[in-house]
């Protein structure tokens, strides 16, 4: 069993829909990282969080430490949001290595 | 803004060649990382460095070595390139969480180098 699991693996939605991507993990963590990777390779950091909720524009990330679960929401989705969204966790006993999820491929159709 | 640059976006090398991939960051980050990314496998850590001249093996170090002579620069070396090293290589940097706290541990990535070994 992977230590970090994302769901769904693939998601196709219509422009304007509310999107939720989930990340579950099995280890104790210091923080959780959400990143975005567009076609062409570049990876961009979206959020780093250890409790509660963070918001940036149309993106919202939440985390429930007790349930070992985080969600990334996109409101009013747009085709430019099409990308792979990756979740990674920093285990409590680590200062260097993140444990990576496999990513969720999101396609937003106009 | 943090900037992480990589020496090449695309590289084609022959089997057996020695390959150098360079990464430079401009934010005085202690940690630097080299990953490879293959379809269906996600990001896999090759090596990381937490200080000048310090390095630690990641999950897949075989066939690779690294060098960190200056804080801002982290090089990945393929001593004798092989076709199974054809991949996307991504460099990243971050602050050291023990000094700055776990939330400072965001990793900032370079644009990637797509290496093809023929």
Among chain A residues, the shortest Cα distance to B3 is held by A44
Read off the pLDDT of each residue in B23-37 and give the average, rounded to a whole number: 94
Q: What is the pLDDT of residue A101?
A: 93
Q: What is the pLDDT of residue A2?
A: 73
Per the prediction, chain B carries an average pLDDT of 91
State residue A97's pLDDT score: 81
User: What phi, psi does B100 have (nearest 5°)?
Assistant: -115, -5
CB contact under 8 A, A30 and B97: yes
Q: Are A108 and A93 in contact (CB under 8 A)?
A: no
pLDDT in tens, B65-116: 999 999 999 999 999 999 999 999 999 998 876 666 666 678 899 999 999 9
Taking residues B47-70, report their average pLDDT: 94
Res A91 pLDDT > 70: yes
CB pair distance less than 8 Å for A98 and B107: yes
Confidence of residue A107 (pLDDT cuts 50, 70, 90): very high
Mean of pLDDT values over B11-38: 95
Cα–Cα distance, A82 to B83 (Å, whole number): 31
**Which residue of chain A comes nearest to B36, CA vs CA?**
A41
pLDDT digits (tens, 9 = 90+) for A14-57: 999 999 999 999 999 989 999 999 887 789 999 999 999 999 99
Q: How far is A56 from chain B (nearest CA, A)?
A: 15
Structure-token pair, residue B111: 């644009």
Which residue among A33, A42, A102 places its CB closest to the CB of B107?
Answer: A33
For the segment B9-18, the average pLDDT, to the nearest whole number, is: 96
The yes-or-no verdict on residue A103 having pLDDT over 70 is: yes
Residue B99, H or E segment? helix B97-100
State the count of interchain CB pairs (< 8 A) between A and B. 62
CA neighbor of A51 nearest in space, from A27, A73, A68, A35: A68
CA of A50 to nearest chain B CA: how many angstroms apart? Answer: 7
Please tell me if residue A84 touches chain B, with a CB cutoff of 8 Å.
Answer: no
Tell me, what's the pLDDT at B100? 65
What's the mean pLDDT in A86-105?
A: 88
Give the pLDDT band (50/70/90) at residue B2: low
CA distance to partner chain A, nearest, from residue B26 (Å): 16
What pLDDT, on a 0 to 100 scale, did the predictor assign at position B95? 83
Spatial CB neighbours of B62, under 8 Å, sequence gap ≥ 6: none
Cβ neighbours of B111 in A, within 8 Å: 41-42
Instruction: Judge whether residue B44 has pLDDT over 70.
Output: yes
Instruction: Point out the residue among A45, A97, A102 whose CB comes nearest to the CB of B106.
Output: A45
Residues of A61-98 as b/e, b for ≥16 C-beta within 10 angstroms? Answer: bbbeeeebebbbbbeebeeebbbbbbbbbbbeebbbbb
């Amino acid at each position: 069993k992977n230590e970090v699991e994302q769901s769904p693996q693939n998601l196709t939605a219509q422009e304007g829909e509310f999107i939720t991507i989930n990340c579950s993990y099995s280890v104790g963590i210091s923080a959780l990282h959400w990143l975005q990777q567009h076609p062409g390779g570049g990876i961009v950091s979206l959020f780093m969080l250890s409790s509660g909720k963070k918001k940036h524009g149309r993106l919202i990330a939440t985390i429930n430490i007790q349930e070992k679960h985080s969600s990334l929401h996109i409101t009013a989705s747009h085709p430019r949001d099409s990308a792979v969204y990756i979740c990674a966790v920093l285990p409590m006993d680590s200062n260097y290595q993140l444990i990576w999820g496999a990513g969720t491929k999101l396609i937003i159709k106009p | 803004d943090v900037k992480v640059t990589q020496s090449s976006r695309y590289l084609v090398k022959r089997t057996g060649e020695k390959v150098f991939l360079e990464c430079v960051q401009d934010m005085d980050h202690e940690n630097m990382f080299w990953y490879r990314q293959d379809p269906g496998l996600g990001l896999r850590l090759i090596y990381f460095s937490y200080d000048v001249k310090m390095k630690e093996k990641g999950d897949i170090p075989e066939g690779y070595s690294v060098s960190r002579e200056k804080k801002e620069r982290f090089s990945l070396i393929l001593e004798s390139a092989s076709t199974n090293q054809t991949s996307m290589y991504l460099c990243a940097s971050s602050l050291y969480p023990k000094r700055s706290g776990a939330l400072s541990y965001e990793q900032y990535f370079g644009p990637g180098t797509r290496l093809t070994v023929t």
